[in-house]
Amino acid sequence: MEDLTRPGLEPVSFSLDSGAALAVVGPSGAGKSLLLRALADLDPNSGRVQLDGTLREAVAAPVWRAKVSYVAATPGWWAETVGGHFRPEDRDIAAALLPRLKLPSAAMGWGIERLSTGEGLRVALARALVQQPRVLLLDEPTAALDAESTAAVEGLLHERVGDGLSLLFATHDRQQARRLAQRCLAVAKGGIVREEAL
Amino acid sequence: MNFVALSYWDVLLAALLLTINGGLSIWLRLRLEKELAIAALRMVVQLALVGLILKALFTLVNPWLTALAAAVMIGFAGYEAMARQDRRLAGPWGYGLGAGAMLFAASVVTIFALTTQVQPDPWYSPRFALPMLGMILGNCMTGVSLGLNLLFGRAAKERGGIEAMLALGYPKREAMKPLIREAVRAGLIPIVNAMAATGLVSLPGMMTGQILAGVDPVEAVKYQMLIMFLIAGGTALGVFTAVFAGAARLTDERHRLRLDRLAKKASD
């Protein structure tokens, strides 16, 4: 990725290998979410972003986002039930995945309104993982989770990174950054991004 | 039955009924007296002007003047449709979307009716063209503004859900589908309700007017049916066009939700 920029974010260049994790740290409002959203191409932005040598603009946006998926810090919903948020062909995989995130498979039948904040975050993560993206962009994936659920999420992410997933995640937790990532990008106020030691 | 011409005294006598409104307002301290007086005065002036303009247009039967009058009507309808939206597209789109959709829908339906069913001579005869356009436009405007108001309001409210779909690779068509469906539905409900209630709950103004003017009730009813069908068709066409074009403008070629293209009402 070269010179990725958008309003609120200074140009930034970096690369991420397959099977590597990169933490994005920085104070609230500095632009961590803007960076992740720009990579997912969810807001107007500019720069050369490529995956496996293919430029982002060379593929249709839905194809890009199926490979480079973004999960927001506050999950959004579009169906009545948890199961309704998975494509029919992915529902069995999702039901099998939920217990890995400390949720019962039966949660597939739960209504969205009964999910706690932490449960919602984990369902949103499962929703992205079942699609098997090449790059996963997570915005504060464990911000509202207890220690046990955080460990479950981190364990699953660690495993997926081991399987070749490239992971970029925004976090306030330096310890979590060290546990999950090999590298770290710091976003300072004004949207200035630089790589720093973990 | 013959047409009974009204004198200005007859109209003035009817206007005396407004004293009931005014009296109630004073008695219940509604503070509506001033607004009531202004509204009544506006109605009198506007209708008197329209009467004079229509009389001149009907005498001249000029296609360009008829088109100009139609353009003015559509122009005002576009402004009204825009003013009724809490959120609307920023810039010229805010006005252009509703006005464009109504221009398209009302023109197609009015010309269709004039050339195939009513068939006055000439087909653009302002005596037929302008009242029909007015009725179609009035209802189309309500539908378009309701549809767009729901589309833009809900898009802002349900941003999280829409973007969650887009972020996982769903195409914009799929992400916007529930919203488009609801917006079109909201725009069409008034005309569906109006059709269902017509004749039972309400006697439409046009039909009543024709009967009062001495037209055979059966003929007046046929005209009313024609008008209701035209209104329903025109509203559907207008709402569909406005909502689809609005949804297209609210997203871009990279399948992003572009809420930055919305502006809030100036009064907010």
In this prediction, residue B268 has a pLDDT band, given cuts at 50, 70 and 90, of very low
**Cβ pairs bridging A and B (under 8 Å):** 68
Strands A50-51 and A54-55: what pairing?
A: antiparallel
- Stretch B143-157: mean pLDDT, rounded? 96
Of A42, A60, A127, the CB nearest to B166: A42
Tens of pLDDT, residue by residue over B55-74, are 999 999 999 999 999 999 99
Tell me the β-bridge partners of B111.
none
Nearest CA in chain B to A136: B168
pLDDT band, residue A9 (cuts 50/70/90) = confident
Q: Which residues lie across from A51 on neighbouring strands?
A: A54
What is the value of ipTM here, to two decimals? 0.94
Q: Are B128 and B101 a contacting pair, CB within 8 Å?
A: no
Verify whether the Cβ–Cβ distance A128 to B168 is below 8 Å: yes
Q: Using pLDDT thresholds of 50, 70 and 90, give the confidence band for residue A175.
A: very high
CB-nearest to B167 from A40, A44, A67 is: A40
- A69 to B165: CB separation less than 8 angstroms, yes or no: no
Q: Report pLDDT digits (tens) over B210-254.
A: 888 889 999 999 999 999 999 999 999 999 999 999 999 999 999
CA distance B111 to B121: 13
Q: Do A70 and B167 touch (CB under 8 A)?
A: yes
> What would the DSSP string read from start to end of B28-84?
TT---HHHHHHHHHHHHHHHHHHHHHHHHHHHH--HHHHHHHHHHHHHHHHHHHHHT
The pLDDT assigned to B4 comes to 83
Looking at residue A179, its amino acid is R
Amino acid at A53: G
User: Is B34 a residue whose pLDDT tops 70?
Assistant: yes
Q: Inform me whether the pLDDT recorded for A83 exceeds 80.
A: yes
The mean-pLDDT minimum among A152-156, B4-8, B139-143 falls in B4-8
For residue A63, what pLDDT is reported? 97
pLDDT at B198 over 90: no
pTM of the model: 0.87
From B158's Cα to the closest Cα of chain A, the distance in A is 8
Report the C-alpha gap between B151 and B166 in whole angstroms. Answer: 17
pLDDT tens digits for range A138-164:
999 999 899 999 999 999 999 999 999
Cβ under 8 Å to B: A residues 21-80: 40-44, 60-67, 69-72, 74-78
Does position B267 have pLDDT exceeding 80, yes or no?
no
Mean pLDDT of chain B: 93
Subunit contact B167:A72, Cβ cutoff 8 A: yes
Q: How many helices (H) and strands (E) does chain B have?
A: 10, 2
Of B161, B162, B167, the CB nearest to A69: B167
Contact A65 B169 (CB under 8 A): yes
A34, A64, A78: best to mutate for the B interface, most B CBs within 10 A = A78
Which of A41, A70, A128 is facing B254, going by the closest CB pair? A41
